[in-house]
Every structure is written in structure tokens, then in C-alpha cells.
Amino acid sequence: MAQGCPFCQGVTQKVYCTTSQGTILECTACGGRFARDRRDEVQLDDPPAASAAINREYAESYADAADTELAIARNVVKFVVDRVGPPANVLEVGCGQAQIGRALGETMPAASYTGIEISKELFRGIDSGQKAQVIHAPTLEQALAQVDDGHYDLVVMHHVLEHLPAPADTLALVKRKMRPGGNIFIEVPNEQWKRPLISLRHLLKRGGDDWFPGHINFFTRRPLESLVRSQGLRIVASKVVPAADLPALVIKMLGGPRAYRENPLARMVFGLLRLTQVERVLGYGISLRCIART
């Protein structure tokens, strides 16, 4: 694997921060941040010790959270359709429990949906109504080989790129699946204030790690946009979305609805965020969303 920056392949980096969980490097060319020493975590097929932590946190955040997942999915579908219109053939890469497929079916029953999920655990948890639409294979390459090239007018990658050791290579593979003029929707966590967010996470998610296990790329807006453009894609929408606008995602990140209900401090902090709209004033947001066209 190349030792360069996963976003721009630049070869020089500086240390952004070091915690007990690892070191985050920052590319001096594009400003992208990544944790190279934690790449082992994302090899889900042959799980080393670290991926036990990933499975535990995912299981926690999915438990008792079907409604939360569906609320997140409906928000994504609305965001995309408002900007590029209703899709006909949708491919979701890294679909989790395929709730975006479900949300799509609610409002656009004529659209066809195919999901790809490489985690055995998550695939097992997909309910029987969605499972027939989801491809499971040990690697993204193997799963992508099972879907047609040039076919999809919408590809969705919702909170996926932050997990991938070589996001540029994966985007190149995914782009081949898109129809000419097709769109790709990408959402990743916005990590513009990673250091204070590590402290906030410790405060709000007691016993949690410094950051979500399995995240190895830490996006801010510029490196995300340059990664997308480097694949020859044209950006048609780009947005930093405040936490106040994505309550279901916040609840998921804090461990799911039950954990959230039992966490008065987190509820208070989030209540204040929603009330004060302070994120808008500061130009902060919890997620980055980008739609790009071939």
C-alpha cells in the first residue's frame, strides 16, 4: 500500500495529535488527516483484536435504533432528491442495515435499489424485507464486481469513506458503476475540530474511545472536495450540516436512543446546540455532504 496521503497521495505529513488510541497525521499538501497506524481495524473479514471494539460499538449504536436509522435514511433521501431529483437505479456502497433502501422505497417505489455491505455482522442484521437487495462479499472489490458497470444514476456512500484504507482507489472503482451524468452522494463526519471533539466525546460518551473505532480518515471540507475532484467528478452540491439538523445521527453517535435517554449531560448539550444555533454562527457542522456528477 502506498505510504502517501489517502486523499491526494502527497508524501509529507505532520503529526496532528497523538492519543492513547493512535496518531493522527495531517497531509501538508491537502490538509487531510488520517490515522495510518489503525488501518488494521478496517480489515473486517479476518478480524484482529481491534475489530472487536468496532463490532461492539456498532452493535450498541444499532441496538434499539431501527427508528433512528430510518430517520437518518429519510433525511439523506430528501437531501439528494431535493438537489438532483428522483433516481431510477440506486447503488449504496456500505449500506449497513439498508435503511436508505427502505426510505427510498417509501417515497419512490419505482426506483431500484442495490446495497453492498462487507461486514458480516451488519449483513446478518438486515431485516428480511431488505436482504434480497443487498450483496455481501468479503471485500468491496468482490462486491462491486457483482454489479453492472455504467448502470447507476445514483450512488450513495453514507459514512463509508472514513473507513477505507484507499478511498481514492475505491472511488475510482465505484465511479465505473455510474451511468454518464449520474450522481454520487457522499457523507462523512466533519472533523474540522478533531482535538476538541476528542475531549467532547469523552465527556459525552463515557467509557468510549477517543474516536469511533474503525475511522481512519478524518475529513474536512477541502480535502473531501479535492478527493472527489481528483476522480474527475464535478461537485454539484457541498454542505456542512449542523448537528442541530441531524438529531438522529447525533443520537446514533452517542450510542443509540437508550444510551441517549440515560445521558442527561449529552441531552443538555445537544438541547443547547439546537436552541442557540451556535454551530451556524461558528461555521461548524457534524457532517459533510457532497453530491458530484460524472
Q: Is 218 in the site for Zn ion (CB under 5 A)?
A: no
Could you give the CA distance from residue 278 to residue 188 in angstroms, rounded to a whole number?
21
How far is residue 89 CA from its own chain's centroid?
21
Q: What does the block give as the cell for 165? A: 484504507
Name which of 30 and 248 has its Cβ closer to Zn ion: 30
The least distance separating Zn ion from the CB of residue 167, rounded to whole angstroms, comes to 11
Name which of 30 and 197 has its Cβ closer to Zn ion: 30
The least distance separating Zn ion from the CB of residue 26, rounded to whole angstroms, comes to 9
The least distance separating Zn ion from the CB of residue 287, rounded to whole angstroms, comes to 21
- Give the binding-site size for Zn ion (rule: CB under 5 A): 8
Q: Is 32 in the site for Zn ion (CB under 5 A)?
A: yes
Taking CB under 5 A as the binding criterion, the range among 9-17, 35-43, 153-161, 276-284 that sits at the site for Zn ion is 9-17
For residue 136, CA distances in Å to 7, 23, 262 come to 26, 32, 35
Taking CB under 5 A as the binding criterion, the range among 8-16, 33-41, 169-177, 206-214 that sits at the site for Zn ion is 8-16
Q: Is 113 in the site for Zn ion (CB under 5 A)?
A: no
Q: Is 8 in the site for Zn ion (CB under 5 A)?
A: yes
Residue environment code for 167-188, b if the CB has 16+ CB neighbours within 10 A, otherwise e: bbbbbeebbebbbeebbbbbbb
Q: Is 29 in the site for Zn ion (CB under 5 A)?
A: yes
CB < 8 Å & 24+ apart, contacts of 117-121: 117/143, 118/44, 118/45, 118/94, 118/143, 119/44, 119/58, 120/44, 120/45, 121/55, 121/58, 121/59
Q: Is 27 in the site for Zn ion (CB under 5 A)?
A: yes
The least distance separating Zn ion from the CB of residue 37, rounded to whole angstroms, comes to 17
Query: Are 109 and 132 spatial neighbours (Cβ–Cβ below 8 Å)?
Result: no
The least distance separating Zn ion from the CB of residue 9, rounded to whole angstroms, comes to 7
Q: Is 227 in the site for Zn ion (CB under 5 A)?
A: no
Q: What does the block give as the cell for 286? A: 457534524
Binding site for Zn ion (CB under 5 A): 5, 7-8, 10, 27, 29-30, 32
